[in-house]
Chains A and B, each alone.
Chain A
């Protein structure tokens, strides 16, 4: 069974810092991996989708990488802003089912 782990569980940084969120999964047979943002009481917002054949995806200040063989993905956020404060989730899609990580709660301090 696929297990998805996110480290750290919580992170607090001053505004302007670059930061990295980590996601690891136990079974490399994945269809794709997604990074989501979750604001309190809201549904998920998709940030980046990486297909299993891809190594990375970029959108604005966000860059996500995927190393399928080692079961790892990272989400890099450049020049963090207070508006980036949220919970970030990664999800692995095996083609039949989604497996979600437990999330990293990010706080960016002005």
Chain B
């Protein structure tokens, strides 16, 4: 099946810094990518949907100026957590789907810890 990778798999950063997480589709062109996060003991929640070449659509309650999403190519989407704070510590996971394909392929996730 199609493979989606995320980098880094885990990251620890200081409060106030920005962190970039990459999501790549390795063997297919991902026209749509989804970003999710999961706080400890909570459900995985959709943050935003990004289509290649256009602005991401954010779910209610997700700050678009804090979580910058760029989907500049058909194989790469990035999520930048700007001015990270300890409450942003979470598990971030992306998924991708190809054109005309409803099947989603999920990345392994990135664990972010903000000190």
B13 at the interface (CB under 8 A from A): no
Other-chain contact of B45, A38, A46, A91, A100 (Cβ < 8 Å) = A46
Q: Which residue of B lies closest to A46 (CB)?
A: B43
In the bound complex, CA of A17 to CA of B34 (Å): 32
Main SS class of interface, B = strand
Of residues 24 through 39 on chain B, the ones whose CB sits less than 8 Å from some CB of chain A are: 32, 34, 36, 38
List the count of A-B residue pairs having beta carbons below 8 Å apart: 43
Residues B102 and A49 in contact, CB atoms below 8 Å apart: no
Q: Give the docked Cα–Cα distance between A98 and B92 (Å).
A: 10
Q: Is B49 an interface residue (CB 8 A)?
A: yes
Checking A34, A40, A41, A42 against B43 with a beta-carbon cut-off of 8 angstroms, the contacting residue is A34
Q: Which residues from chain A contact B106 at a C-beta distance below 8 Å?
A: 98, 100
Q: Are A41 and B44 in contact (CB-based, < 8 A)?
A: no
Complex interface: chain B residues within 8 A of A38 (CB): 102, 104
Q: Chain A's nearest CB lies how many Å from the CB of B41?
A: 7
* Residues in A neighbouring B32, C-beta threshold 8 A: 41
Q: Is the CB of A41 within 8 A of B102?
A: yes
Q: How far is the CB of B52 from chain A (nearest CB, A)?
A: 14
Known: A43-B36, A44-B95. A51 touches B41 (CB 8 A): yes
Complex-state Cα separation, A8 to B59, whole angstroms: 31
B60 at the interface (CB under 8 A from A): no
Q: Does A97 lie at the interface of the complex (its beta carbon under 8 Å from any beta carbon of B)? A: yes
Decide: A44 near B104, CB < 8 A? Known: A34-B44, A49-B42, A98-B93.
yes
Taking A41-B102, A43-B46, A97-B109 as given, write out 12 further A-B residue pairs in contact, using a Cβ cutoff of 8 Å, ordered by the A residue number: A38-B102, A38-B104, A40-B102, A42-B49, A43-B49, A43-B95, A44-B46, A44-B95, A93-B38, A93-B91, A98-B108, A100-B106
**A contact residues vs B (CB 8 Å cutoff):** 32, 34, 36, 38, 40-46, 49, 51, 87, 91, 93, 96-98, 100
